[in-house]
Amino acid sequence: MTADLSPMRPTRDPRVTLDDLLEVVLNKGAVLHLDLIVAVADIPLIGVSLRAAIAGMETMLEYGMMRHWDEDTRAWAERSTARRALDLEEDENVVCRMSGGHLLTESLYHGWRPGTVYLTDRRLVVLRDEPREILWETGLDAVTAVRLEPERTVGGEERLRLDVALADGGQERLSAREPGELHALLTEACAGRPTPALPFAFRSPAEEDPPLAEGHLWYHEPRRGGPLWRGGQGRMTADRLVWKSPVDSRPALVLPLADITAVRRVPAYSPAGEDGLIAVHTTAGDEVRLAADDPAAWTERLRAAGAATGPVAAGPVAAAG
């Protein structure tokens, strides 16, 4: 490849873009007012627009089989929605999915958070449907034991819960519509995996870097039209702070802790309240703005981590590198 530094030009060549174009035309574009579409007598156009709205690339693949779409569209749309609910990794497959929940015990709020339990061939995940957020997840290789435990519900009923013991010593409790089935499938899925006793840990250090801190954070994302506060998940490991929104496919912020020069609290408006705002200064001269419900804790962690890895200053003034 030659080092041509003139700006790349976009292509409209249909040989390159046709699939993307199909997706965009079938998926997007204004749709006439629903009332009008429904009112188009005897033409169940709603089928078409629903399909287009939900579908993605599958749409055009399945367009060829549209003969029976009128009755099939609903069933198909439902399947399609389910498939899109959890973002799967490459080669990852869903083993089972059922309604359930995760018992949150680690923060101030202690209680059941309902959602959908997904068992894949790699992970066990509890996903909240709306707004979509992963409430809890673990890789199957971190699961050391699984057992069913009876629990008396508020209503006095006895229900079976699923207790999951993890390699890091932690234990989590899940509810599930079919706890027995989930237990059986999970046990089976874990049995096929190398045990921690093997001399070669299956987990790679790069991937499983344990978080020093993890929790909800707001990120003031810079944009052309002015910055925008967005909610998401912050995760601080030994060498970096990563922030990711549940609607993005990857993190919008990856900040090496070694680049932090100063961390300070700023008394200004933020979605986390009057004193939730944290400004992080970097070696590049940027200021990254975050907001947290527990700003003191995050500030401390960032300062401590920055001090360990980089030229962080505890005060409001950035220290020289």
Partner 1 sequence: MTEHTALYVYALLPDRPDAADGVTGIDGRPLRLVRVPGTSVAALVHDAAPTPLEGGDDQVRRWVEEQSRAVDTVWERTGSVLPMTFNVLVAAEPSPEPSPEDGTAAGTAAGTPVGRSAEQRLTEWVTEQAADIGGQLEGLAGRCELRVDITVDRTAATAGGTGGAAEGAPEGGPDGLSPGMRRLMEKQREHRARATAGQLADTLHAETRQRLLAVAEDYRDRGPTHRVAGETDVLCAALLVRREDIDAVGAVLTDLRARQPAVRVRFLGPWPPYSFIDTAHRARAEEMAP
Q: Is 257 in the site for partner 1 (CB under 8 A)?
A: no
CB of 241 to partner 1, least distance (A): 11
Given 150, 206, 320, 321, the residue binding partner 1 (CB under 8 A): 206
117: amino acid identity, one letter: V
Given 100, 179, 232, 251, the residue binding partner 1 (CB under 8 A): 251
Q: Is 195 in the site for partner 1 (CB under 8 A)?
A: no
CB of 158 to partner 1, least distance (A): 34
Cβ closest to partner 1, residue 102 vs residue 240: 240
Cβ closest to partner 1, residue 13 vs residue 158: 13
Q: Is 25 in the site for partner 1 (CB under 8 A)?
A: yes
CA angle 156, 162, 167 (to 5 degrees): 145
Q: Is 207 in the site for partner 1 (CB under 8 A)?
A: yes
DSSP string, 238-285: SSEEEEE-TTSSS-SEEEEGGGEEEEEEE-S--TT-TT-EEEEEETTS
- The b/e string for 90-121 (b: 16+ C-beta within 10 A; e otherwise) is eeeebbbbeebbbbbeeeeeeeeeebbbbbbe
Q: How far apart are CA 250 and CA 229, in angstroms?
A: 17
Given 196, 222, 273, 316, the residue binding partner 1 (CB under 8 A): 222
Given 156, 250, 274, 285, the residue binding partner 1 (CB under 8 A): 250
Cβ closest to partner 1, residue 111 vs residue 225: 225
Q: Is 192 in the site for partner 1 (CB under 8 A)?
A: no
Given 82, 252, 308, 317, the residue binding partner 1 (CB under 8 A): 252
Q: Which stretch binds partner 1 (CB under 8 A): 13-21, 157-165, 172-180, 304-312?
A: 13-21
Q: Is 129 in the site for partner 1 (CB under 8 A)?
A: no
Cβ closest to partner 1, residue 18 vs residue 238: 18
131 cis-preceded (ω within 30 degrees of 0): yes
CB of 243 to partner 1, least distance (A): 8
With 0-12 / 13-18 / 19 or more C-beta atoms within 10 angstroms meaning exposed / middle / buried, residue 51 is buried
Q: Is 149 in the site for partner 1 (CB under 8 A)?
A: no
Q: Is 297 in the site for partner 1 (CB under 8 A)?
A: no
Q: How far apart are CA 209 and CA 184, in angstroms?
A: 29
User: What are the φ/ψ torsions at residue 126 (nearest 5 degrees)?
Assistant: -110, 120
CB of 296 to partner 1, least distance (A): 26
Dihedral angle, C-alpha 39, 42, 47, 48, nearest 10 °? -90
Strands (E), 31-141: 94-104, 111-120, 123-128, 133-139
Q: Is 238 in the site for partner 1 (CB under 8 A)?
A: no
Residues in 83-122 at the binding interface with partner 1, rule: CB under 8 A: 87, 90
Q: Which of 317, 318, 275, 319 is nearest to 297 (CA)?
A: 275
Q: Which stretch binds partner 1 (CB under 8 A): 202-210, 262-270, 290-298, 305-313?
A: 202-210
Q: Between the CA of residue 290 and those of 4, 94, 258, 275, 306, what are the distances in Å?
A: 38, 35, 18, 11, 16
Q: Which of 244, 196, 234 is nearest to 212 (CA)?
A: 234
CB of 176 to partner 1, least distance (A): 24
Count interface residues toward partner 1 (CB under 8 A): 80
Residues in 31-70 at the binding interface with partner 1, rule: CB under 8 A: 31-34, 36-37, 39-43, 45-46, 48-50, 52-54, 57, 60-61, 63-64, 66-67
